[in-house]
Each structure stands twice: as C-alpha cells, then as structure tokens.
C-alpha cells in the first residue's frame, strides 16, 4: 500500500472522530475573525451604513445609468457619486453659510439686550399671584431666573465653542467622503453581496426575500417618509417665522427640521414659543399683532397639516411602525448608534416583527378567529 493510500485511509478513519472538534474549532475561529473585523470596521460603521442606505434608495437610478452606459458598472457608480455630491454637498454648503449668518444675527440680537429687556419688563410675578392661594410664593418660581441666565450665556457659549464647531465641520467633510467611498463599493458590488448572503443564509429563499423587502421598506419609510416630511415641515416653519419677523428664522427652521425627526415632539416645540414671544412683545407695544396672529394661524393650518399631506404621498405603499414603538425605536437607536440610529432603530424593530411572524407561520402558531358562542 502506498503512502498516499495509507494517508487517505487514515484520514477516512479519523474523520468521524474529529468531525465535531473540527466544527467547533472552525466556529471559534470564525467568531474571532468576525469580532476582529467588527472592531476594525467600527470607526467606519456610520459611513458604511449611510452608504448602504444611499445605495438602497438610489439603486434604481444606478441601474438606469448603467444600462445607458452599456453595462459599465464602475463608470455608472462614478456618475452616481458625482450626482450625489452635487445634490447634497452644494445645498449643504449654502445652508451652512445661511445658518452661520443667522446664528451671528441671533447672537447680535441677544447682545443688544432687546430680548433681555423684554423678559425683564414682563410682570411674570404679578400674573402668578393666584398661586398664593395654594401656599406658593410666585417669587420662588419666577421664570426669569431660568430665562435670563440662559440668554446671557448664549453669546459666550458661541465664542467658546467656535473652534469646536469648525473642527466638527472638517470631521463632517471627511465622514461624507467615507460615505461616498462606501456608496461606490455598494453600487459596484451590491448585487454580488446580496447573492452571496442568499447563498450563506440557512433560511428558505422566501424568508430571505422577505427580510430583504422589509429592509428596503424600512429604509424607504424612514427616508422618503420621515425625512421628506421633516424637510417640508422645517421649510414651512422657517417661512412662517421669517414672515412673522422672528430673528434667525432659517436657523430655527433648521432646528424644527431636526426636532420633527423625533416622533411625538415635532415642530410645535419651535413655532409655539415663537408665537408666545411675539404675542408678549406685541402686548408691550414693541411690535404689532400681525406677526403673532399670522404665526399662530400658519402653525395650526399649514405646519401641523402638511404632515398629513406629505407623509402619505412619500410613503405610498410602505409600511411603518406604530407611533409609540417608533418613538422608542428612534430614540433608543440614536442613543445606541448616533444619527444612523434613526434608521437602525426602526429597522431592528421591523426585523424583530418579521422574525416573530416567520416563527409563528413556520410552527403554525397563527391565531385563529375567536368563535362567539
């Protein structure tokens, strides 16, 4: 018997004995390598996820561009990257300059003391005398003790944190470049990655398709629904504030856009205090009542109702979580993952619901309609 035949025979004899050990060793090695890979990619996780989201949303346009370029995927991906850069970067730069200008104007307004004098002229304690009936001293809960120190600290805070803001802008530019690199990779290799995931998945093909559909629906629901609605509400809020004569209208419109991304908060956090400020200023003769009345009507009739117009249009045919689970998903996701948690949170909750539904269908646990005797 040759050495080769003897080795093959010995290997055949050892295989049943060492099969479990080999599987365990391979599993441990795979876990260690996957953990090391995650540690390496962890600093770039946000850029990778945002790149995947951009590609998911714009992939149909990439396919059209690739078809027109006769299947040249790399060139089509470069065209898409250039288009995304111009569509995002140029408006972002313009908005950034406007926000800086608005912030400077708001700080100048704070330094002028007009807002401070208005708060000091408010007879807040006089209007809170009814609290004495309940044994409370209005002087101890004077809102001016909270409002004035904050207003006086705003200019100093801006001056102290100016370099940090500039540094964060530089970091944002680098992060955007990483997002573009990730997007390019997913454009070119995305279809191949999906095929490989389907091969590696131990689930039936119909469940793989269900998870893929759920992922796309959540991304669409978050960006085409939530982001589009938030942009619309922020824009109309800024327009209303500008017409009403509120200082820093563009800046507050941007703040309204960010706040409207959070469920059950909304842009009312911005326009309601602004309307109250205008009413108080008008009652003291500093301005007319037009701005206060206009902003109140604008907030009720336009800002609050545009959500019911834009969201159904942007999310047509897309499912979304109920309001309270969506609130926990967004806030918890942003706390755990930062800004990308805005998508990851709802995505995890939606996939959890899909897993529960698949489990119930697989084991025949679907509830049957109750019978009334």
Domain layout of the chain by residue ranges: 203-363
In 77-130, the DSSP E strands lie at none
pLDDT higher than 50, residue 372: no
Question: Would you state the structure tokens that stand for residue 197, as one six-digit string?
Answer: 């995931």
Give pLDDT, residue 160. 52
What is d(CA 127, CA 104) in angstroms, rounded to the nearest whole number? 34
Tell me the average pLDDT across 88-114.
Answer: 67
According to DSSP, residue 372 is labeled P
What is d(CA 55, CA 113) in angstroms, rounded to the nearest whole number? 49
Give pLDDT, residue 102. 66
Give pLDDT, residue 239. 92
Q: How confident is the model at residue 163 (pLDDT cuts 50, 70, 90)?
A: low
User: Between the ranges 43-57, 89-103, 147-161, 257-271, where is the mean pLDDT highest?
Assistant: 43-57
pLDDT in tens, 1-31: 555 555 555 555 555 556 777 778 888 998 9
Look at residues 309, 64, 353, 340 and name the one whose alpha carbon lies nearest to residue 210: 353
Close Cβ partners of 86 (under 8 Å, ≥ 6 residues apart): none
């Amino acid at each position: 018997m040759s050495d080769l035949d003897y080795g093959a025979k010995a290997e055949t004899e050892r295989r049943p004995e060492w099969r479990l050990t080999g599987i365990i060793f391979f599993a441990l090695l795979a876990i260690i390598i996957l953990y090391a890979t995650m540690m390496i990619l962890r600093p770039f996780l946000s850029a990778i996820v945002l790149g995947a989201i951009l590609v998911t949303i714009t992939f149909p346009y990439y396919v059209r561009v690739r078809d027109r370029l006769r299947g040249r995927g790399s060139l089509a991906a470069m065209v898409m990257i250039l288009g995304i850069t111009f569509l995002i970067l140029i408006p972002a730069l313009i908005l950034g300059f406007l926000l800086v200008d608005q912030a400077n104007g708001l700080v100048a307004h704070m330094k002028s003391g007009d807002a401070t004098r208005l708060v000091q002229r408010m007879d807040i304690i006089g209007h809170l005398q009814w609290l004495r009936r309940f044994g409370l001293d209005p002087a101890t809960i004077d809102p001016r003790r909270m409002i004035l120190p904050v207003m006086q600290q705003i200019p100093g805070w801006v001056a102290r944190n100016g370099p940090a803001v500039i540094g964060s802008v530089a970091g944002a530019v680098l992060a955007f470049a990483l997002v573009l690199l990730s997007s390019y990779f997913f454009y070119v290799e995305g279809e191949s990655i999906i095929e490989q995931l389907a091969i590696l998945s131990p689930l039936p093909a119909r469940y793989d398709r269900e998870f893929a559909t759920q992922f796309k629906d959540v991304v669409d629901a978050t960006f085409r629904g939530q982001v589009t609605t938030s942009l619309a509400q922020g824009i109309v809020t800024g327009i209303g504030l500008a017409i009403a004569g509120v200082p820093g209208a563009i800046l507050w419109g941007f703040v309204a856009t960010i706040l409207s991304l959070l469920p059950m908060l909304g842009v009312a956090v911005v326009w309601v205090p602004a309307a109250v400020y205008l009413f108080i200023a008008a009652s003291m003769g500093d301005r007319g009542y037009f701005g206060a009345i206009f902003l109140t009507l604008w907030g009720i009739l336009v800002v609050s109702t545009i959500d019911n117009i834009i969201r159904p249009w942007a999310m047509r045919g897309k499912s979304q979580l109920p309001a309270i689970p969506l609130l926990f998903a967004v806030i918890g996701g942003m706390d755990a993952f930062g800004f990308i948690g805005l998508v990851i949170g709802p995505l995890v909750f939606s996939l959890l619901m899909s897993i529960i539904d698949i489990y119930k269908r697989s084991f025949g646990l679907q509830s049957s309609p109750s019978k009334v005797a």
